[in-house]
Structure 1
C-alpha cells in the first residue's frame, strides 16, 4: 500500500502530473506486487526557486523541469524489485514524453502499524497482522 507524493514545478500541467502518477502506480503494481486499488497520491507544486536539484549529481537533469517522486510503502521489497521499479518508472515516463532524466525517485518503507485508513485503527489491527 504505497502513498505517492509528487513534488513538481508549479508550471507542470495537471494532466502531466496525473500521467506521471499513473506511470508510477503501474510500475508499483508490475514490479512490487502492489494492489491495483492502492492508488494514493499527493501532488505538491513548487514555484521557481523552491526546488533545488543539482543539474549533474549522478546524471544530467534540467533543475527547472525535475520532478521528485516520493514513495512510502510497506517494507519487504527486495533490492531487485526496487531496482526494477526505478527502471520501469523511467521507461514509462519516457513513453508519455517526460524526460526520465528529470526525475528523482526515492522510497521510504514502514510497517502495517504505521497506516490507518479508517476509525477501525491501523492496518495491522484491521488485518490481524
Structure 2
C-alpha cells in the first residue's frame, strides 16, 4: 500500500508530475511487488525558492529543479529491493526526459494498523491481519 507524495516546484507541469508518478508506481509494482490497484499520489507544489537543497550533497543537482519523491508503504522490503527501486525509478525518470540527478527519494515504512481507508478501521482490522 504505497502512498506517494511528489514535492515539486510549481513550474513543473501537471503532465510531467503525472508521468513521474505513473513511472514510480510501475517501478513499485515491478521492484517491490506492490498491488497495481494501490495507486495513490498527492502532488505538493512549492515556489522554487521555497525548496532548499544543497546542490552537491551526495550528487550534483539543480536545487530549483529538484523534486522529492516520498513513498509511504508497508514495511518488509529488503535493502536489495529498495536499491533496485531507486535505480529503476531514476532510469524511468531519464526515459521520460526528467533529469534523475534532480530527484531525492525516501521511503517511510509502517504497518497495516497505520492505514485506514474507511469507517471500518485500519487495514489490519478490515483484512483481519
TM-score by length of 2: 0.99
Bigger share in helix: 2
Once the two structures are superposed, the pairs formed by residues 23-38 of structure 1 within 5 Å of their partners are 23-38=23-38
Name the structure 2 match of 1:14.
Answer: 14
1:105 Cα deviation (Å)? 0.3
TM-score by length of 1: 0.99
Q: 2 CA distance for matches of 1:97 and 1:8?
A: 16
Q: 2 CA distance for matches of 1:35 and 1:73?
A: 11
Structure 1 runs of 4+ aligned residues shifted over 2 Å read: none
1:48 Cα deviation (Å)? 2.4
5+ residue gaps, structure 1: none
The DSSP-based 3-state class of the residue aligned with 1:85 is helix
Q: How many corresponding residue pairs?
A: 129
Tell whether 2:114 aligns with 1:114: yes
Once the two structures are superposed, the pairs formed by residues 15-94 of structure 1 within 5 Å of their partners are 15-94=15-94
Name the structure 2 match of 1:97.
Answer: 97
Q: 1 CA distance for matches of 2:116 and 2:86?
A: 27
5+ residue gaps, structure 2: none
The DSSP-based 3-state class of the residue aligned with 1:39 is coil
